[in-house]
Amino acid sequence: MLSDRISSFIDEHMKAFTGELARFLSIPSVSTLGEHAADVLAAAEWVLRQLKECGFSGALYPTGRHPVVLARSAEVPGAPVLLIYGHYDVQPPDPLDEWLTPPFSPDIRDGYIYARGATDDKGQLLTYINAVQAVLGVNGELPINLIVLAEGEEEIGSTNLGKFLADHREQLRADAVAISDTSQLAPGIPAITYALRGLCYLQIDIRGPRFDLHSGCFGGIVHNPAQVLADVLQKLKNPDGSIAIPGFYDDVLALEQWERQQMAAQPSDLDALKNYLGVCEFAGEPGYTVTERSTARPTLDINGLWGGFSGEGAKTIIPAKAGAKVSMRLVPNQIPEKIDQLFTRFVRQLCPAGVSVEFAGLHHAGPVLVNRNTSAMRAAERAIEIGFGKKPRFKRDGGSIPVVNLIREQLEQENILLLGWGSPDDGPHSPNERFSLDDFHRGIRSAAALFFELAR
C-alpha cells in the first residue's frame, strides 16, 4: 500500500531528495584510500545526521577502520522490525580523465545523476531515508520499526562487520532485512535478486634473484619471475576457458532445469550488451548461456599483473619479482576458505624451485542463495509492483555483498530481501557512474510501500 498522499509527497519532494543525494555524493568516501579516511567519517556522520533528523536514535560505532552507523526509529509497539543495510563507502574514482564531470561534483544530465557512488550504494541507501521522511511527513509515524545499518567498508570486503554483528546481535534482531545494492533486470524491469556470487581474492608475489639482473649476463641460468608468473597464470585455465584448479568445481551446485528455463525466459538483449561492453564476441565457459556464465557459474579473473620494466623504450633485465591479483567469483556451495587453499596449493606446486611464492588474501565473501518462498518476499514483490508499476522478476546477480552471509551466520537471519533499484548500465566501479532519477523515485516509492506491506 502507498497512500495517494505519500505518493504525492514523494513526487513533490523529488527536488529536495535529489539535492540531498547530491550532497551525499559530494563526500569522497573512498574506503580503500587512507587519505580519504576523514571523508569516509564525514559520510558516516552525514547518514547519522539524516536519520536523527527523522527521530532515529543511534550512533557511530568505531571498528578497526571505518565506523558503522547504527540507528533505529522511534518504537512502534507490536509492529515488525525491518533491518535496512547499505554502504556509504565508494570505490576509487580513477581513471579520472574518463569522467565527463568530476566524480565528486554530482552532475545531473539526461535524467541521471552522475557521480561515484550514485548507484553503488549511496543513491540506493538514501531511498530508504527519503521514504522515511515521506511517511513521517504525511502520517507523522511509521507503520514498522526500522533499524538502519550502514557501513563504510563494503568496498574493501566488510572485514570488520562480522564481529560488529556478533557484538550487537540483540540490537540487530529483526523480522527481515532489506538491502538495495544490486540492480533491476533491465532499465524499467524491476527484479528481486535471490542469488549472489561469492568472492575469493588473492595476491601472488613471485621472487627470483635478489635484484634485477642484466639479462645478457645472467639470462639462461635463472628462472625469470615474470615468466614463471605467466606460466602459472596460463595453467589456471583449460583451453576451453574452464578453471583448471583441481577440486575447484567440487562444491558447485549445478543449475536445475527449471531454473535454467526460467533464466532463459527472462528478457535479455545480447547485442545491446555487446554494444555497452564494446566487444564483438562473448567469452566463457562452453555449455552455459551468457546470463548463466555471468551470474550462476564460478569464474577466475586476473585483476592486475606486474613485473619488470614497462616504461618507455627497452631495458634488458631479468626482473627480481613479479606479481598478480587474481579473484574468483564463487557460487553456492563453494567455500571461500577452501577455494583459497586449493588455489594456493596448486600455484605453489606449479612454481619451480629457484623462485619463492607468497600469497596475500584480500577478500573472502560467501556465495548466497536466499529462500524465495517467504512472506517477506511476497511483501517485497507487492512493494515493488506499487513502486515501479510492474511486478518484479527474480534473478541471480554476479557481484558479491559480504554482509549477506555475515547476516546469515551471525544473526541467523534468512529473510533477506535483495531489492535492486539500480540499472545494469549504471556503471558501478566505472567512470561516469550514474543513477537514474526515475529509478531513484521508484526506489523511494518501493521502500515506502515496503514499510506498509511488511507491516500488513
Phi-psi region of 191 (alpha: psi -120 to 50; beta: other; left: phi over 0): beta
Nearer to ligand BES, 155 or 381 (CB): 155
Q: 313 Cβ partners below 8 Å, 6+ apart?
A: none
For ligand BES, the closer CB: 50 or 405: 405
Residues in contact with ligand BES, counted by CB under 6 A, come to a total of 17
Helix (H) or strand (E) holding 186: none
Q: Which of 39, 120, 153, 154 is catalytic?
A: 154
Its sign, for the CA torsion 286, 292, 298, 303, is positive
Tell me the window of 150-158, 215-223, 249-257, 382-390 that interacts with ligand BES (CB under 6 A).
150-158
Residue 154 binds ligand BES, judged by CB under 6 A: yes
Q: Which does 453 bind (CB under 5 to 8 A by kind): Mn ion, ligand BES, none?
A: none
For the segment 116-145, give every residue that binds ligand BES (CB under 6 A).
Answer: 120-121
Which of 177-185, 223-231, 232-240, 244-252 is the region at the interface with ligand BES (rule: CB under 6 A)? 177-185
Using CB under 5 A, which of 89, 181, 381, 433 touches Mn ion? 181
Minimum distance of ligand BES from residue 141's CB (angstroms): 32
Residue closer to ligand BES by CB (options 32, 242) is: 32
Instruction: Kindly state the helix (H) or strand (E) to which residue 51 belongs, with its residue range.
Output: helix 37-53
Assess 160 for contact with ligand BES (CB under 6 A): no
C-alpha span between 191 and 104 (Å, rounded): 29
Is 35 in the active site?
A: no
Specify the residue, 120 or 151, whose C-beta has the smaller distance to Mn ion: 120
Identified catalytic residue from 39, 89, 120, 433: 89
Q: Give the side-chain half-sphere CA count within 13 A for 363.
A: 25
Q: Which three cell numbers stand for residue 260?
A: 535454467
The closest alpha carbon to 322, from 445, 415, 453, 230, belongs to 230
Q: Does residue 336 belong to the site contacting ligand BES (CB under 6 A)?
A: no
Determine how many CB atoms are found less than 10 A away from the CB of residue 433. Answer: 26
Strand partners, 360: 203
Letters for 181-220 (x = contact with ligand BES by CB under 6 A, - = none) are: xxx---------------x---------------------
Task: Answer yes or no whether residue 39 interacts with ligand BES by CB under 6 A.
Answer: no
Name the residue whose CB lies closest to ligand BES.
399
Q: Is 155 in the site for ligand BES (CB under 6 A)?
A: yes
Site for ligand BES in 232-261 (CB under 6 A): none
Residue 92 or 137 having the CB closest to ligand BES: 92
Rounded Cα distance between 385 and 371, Å, is: 20
For 232-298, the DSSP string reads HHHHTB-TTS-B-STTTTTTPPPPPHHHHHHHHHS---HHHHHHHHT-SS----TTS-HHHHHHTS-
Site for ligand BES in 364-383 (CB under 6 A): 365
Shortest separation between residue 428's beta carbon and ligand BES, angstroms: 6
Residue 146 β-bridge partners: 82
Angle ∠(112,116,118) on CA atoms, nearest 5: 45
Cell 535454467 sits on residue? 260
**Per-residue CA distances from 439 to 140, 266, 436, 446, 450 (Å):** 26, 20, 5, 10, 16
**Interface pick for ligand BES out of 39, 151, 381, 397 (rule CB under 6 A):** 397
Let me know if 155 is a catalytic residue: no
Residues at the interface with ligand BES (CB under 6 A)? 120-121, 154-155, 157, 181-183, 199, 363, 365, 397, 399-402, 428
Query: What residues are labeled active site?
Result: 89, 154
